[in-house]
Amino acid sequence: MLLEAIYHHPKRNWAFGYDDATLYLRLRAKKNDLTAVHALTGDKYDWDRTRQLIPMSKFATDGRFDYYQCTVKPTHRRLKYGFLLEDEEEQLWMNENDFTTQEPQNADGLFQYPFLNPIDILKPPAWVKDAVFYQIFPERFANGDPSISPEGAETWGDTPRTDNFFGGDLQGIIDHLDHLNELGINALYMTPVFKATTNHKYDTEDYMEVDPHFGDKETLKKLVAACHDRGIRVLFDAVFNHSGRTFKPFVDVLEKGEASLYKDWFHVHSFPLEVVDDTPTYDTFGLEPMMPKLNTEHPEVKKYLLKVAKYWIDEIGIDGWRLDVADEVDHAFWREFRTTVKQANPDAYILGEMWNESSEWLQGDQFDATMNYPFTYAVNDFFVKKESDAQSFAFAIGRQLARYPQQASEVAFNLLDSHDTPRLLTLCGDDKRLMRLAALFQFTYMGAPCIYYGDEIGLDGDADPGCRKCMEWDPDKQDRELFDFYRELIALRKEHSALRAAGSLTFLEAEPEGASLAYERRSEEEMLLVLFNRSGKSHVFELDIPEQDWELAFGESQWSAGAKGFRAELPAYGYAVLKATPRARVE
């Protein structure tokens, strides 16, 4: 037993409240080192009567470690606990400070979870567990009102550049909500709609106004109401890390320098505000002079931005916020932001833009979820770029699941591409077989999947500006077969709770140097088996699983199941989702 590899911490993703009555406990150990793990639990004031020894199951694994977990419902909402660790040769008890061969006789020296305070528990909105998001870049989705298009707007469908406009607007989105309904979308994420100078609108000029080239507040209200009537939630995008160069307080600092009343709204190193050796004399997003960083520690800045957060929920009825460059804003601001937003709408979804591990923001006091780019990298490396094998992919997913509280994984924003990356089809080298495989994993994994506008009809495009091309509305130029694939995939996810938050995930085949993948999704109501073959030749699965009858829920496969195990064959780039069915009784 390698004790140096065993790890637990009595907070964060290792010991956390899931709801007001349930606590999760987790433990890490060297891969394949332990044969059994139990949690010894009880109340410190009532140890003898509440003592329990609870089996822990292995819920994830990666290249170095196994991760075990169990759930506990403490009698009095507080818990003292330790762990019983076993391998083939010995058993040890783990307390807060050491390992011992003797079982603890009382709660002294054990780990402690002091109390399940409801306010401390991460409680994401329940609706996100069942959400299928669709991301729209408004300037490129549809032009519904040419009268408000920017001067010099180019012909719809011409080549996108970083500085050109095509006249996409809010009315254009309203006009095409049938497209979202036909697809099965129930959540819409729009990049910023506030007044700004660029086509992407991440350089906010006025946080309280709709960009006039997109429409006005009445049109925005009409859009949100129309979405709600169709069962579609609406997520706005806000940039509180930085403003645009034309934001009035920044303009005032540009004009008045140190005499400006707003000089402390920004992080100014020296006056005048200028660029020296390609570096602004004030903090910015990146080194972009037109995006000055806001001082979110300043009381007046906080007051203004929190008013913005509340205003659009109260006045327009949005269902949450996606927050740009969220990891560069101080944690104290986000804590106040969460309080403000949840008071305005307790069911609002707070989503932070993160490109790396983000557990610090998912402790119940800041975000509900983050944009799950580590998931994106893992899926693209295996299914799309073919740079990793099946085992490495399964390890990456296991590591990801172990990083976060369970409820954070259940509502993670799982994307395969966005306005900040090349499009999925382009990443796949225009091979729609690979695209389908990646999308199938995305939609059979826990979290909220997101489709970037146009992916469903075969829109391609390299990195910005290529990934921000105009949506194709000519049916003859749309890939309707691909659209039907996405529509059926969304329907599959909605039909089976085991494919969403309710289902556990167990990999059944993920071999080193392998290109095939098999895993089980299981809930209390059902069990599904998901099979992938990423290789260019057929593959036979032989899985050691209990005898069970199956029916095909999605894809194609030939299979047999009996006392000797499960056997299935998939063609090159094939996939299948099988659902376990009750066995027929033999009279």
- 234 to each of 110, 355, 469, 562, how far by Cα in Å? 46, 23, 22, 48
**For residue 546, cis peptide bond before it (omega within 30 degrees of 0):** no
Residue-level pLDDT at 406: 97
pLDDT digits (tens, 9 = 90+) for 432-448: 999 999 999 999 999 99
- The 10 Å Cβ neighbour count of residue 368 is 27
Q: Where are the alpha helices (DSSP H) in 184-247?
A: 217-229
The predicted pLDDT at position 586 comes to: 45
Predicted confidence at residue 563, as pLDDT, reads 66
What CATH number does domain 3-120 carry, 2.30.140.10, 2.60.40.10, 1.10.132.20, 1.20.120.530?
A: 2.60.40.10
Pairing of strands 36-42, 79-86: antiparallel
- In this prediction, residue 558 carries a pLDDT of 85
Query: Given the structure tokens 């059926």, which residue do they identify?
Result: 488
Tell me whether the CATH fold assigned to 242-295 matches the one assigned to 500-581.
no
Secondary structure class of 81 (helix, strand, coil): strand
pLDDT at 583: 62
* pLDDT for 584: 54
- CA-CA distances (angstroms) from residue 526 to 30, 71, 127, 498, 506? 32, 21, 21, 6, 14
- The answer to pTM > 0.85 is yes
Residue 582: predicted pLDDT: 77
CA distance from start to end of the chain: 51
- According to CATH, the superfamily of the domain at 242-295 is Oligo-1,6-glucosidase; Domain 2 (3.90.400.10)
Report pLDDT for 587: 45
| C-alpha count within 13 angstroms, C-beta hemisphere, residue 406 | 22
Contact 24, 71 (CB under 8 A): yes
Residues of the chain with pLDDT under 70: 563, 583-587
**Residue 510 to residues 194, 514, 535, Cα–Cα distance (Å):** 46, 7, 13
- Lookup result for tokens 């460059």: 325
163 CB-contact burial (10 Å; exposed 0-12 / middle 13-18 / buried 19+): exposed
Instruction: Please identify which residue in the block is written with the tokens 């006025």.
Output: 206
The pair of three-digit structure tokens given for residue 13, joined into one six-digit string:
């993703």
Other beta carbons within 10 angstroms of residue 49's beta carbon come to 8
Element containing residue 29 per DSSP (H, E): strand 23-30
Could you tell me the CATH superfamily of domain 500-581?
Golgi alpha-mannosidase II (2.60.40.1180)
Active site residues: 324, 353
- The Cα 346–Cα 528 span in angstroms is 33
* Closest to 87 in 3D by CA, of 104, 72, 66: 66
The set of residues, in sequence order, having a beta carbon less than 8 Å from that of 361 and lying 6+ positions away, is 326, 327, 331, 334, 352, 354, 367, 370
* Residue 268: DSSP 8-state: B
- DSSP per-residue string spanning 307-324: HHHHHHHHHH---EEEET
Q: How far is CA 246 from the centre of its chain?
A: 32
* Domain limits, the chain: 3-120, 242-295, 500-581
Token duo for residue 327: 């990891």
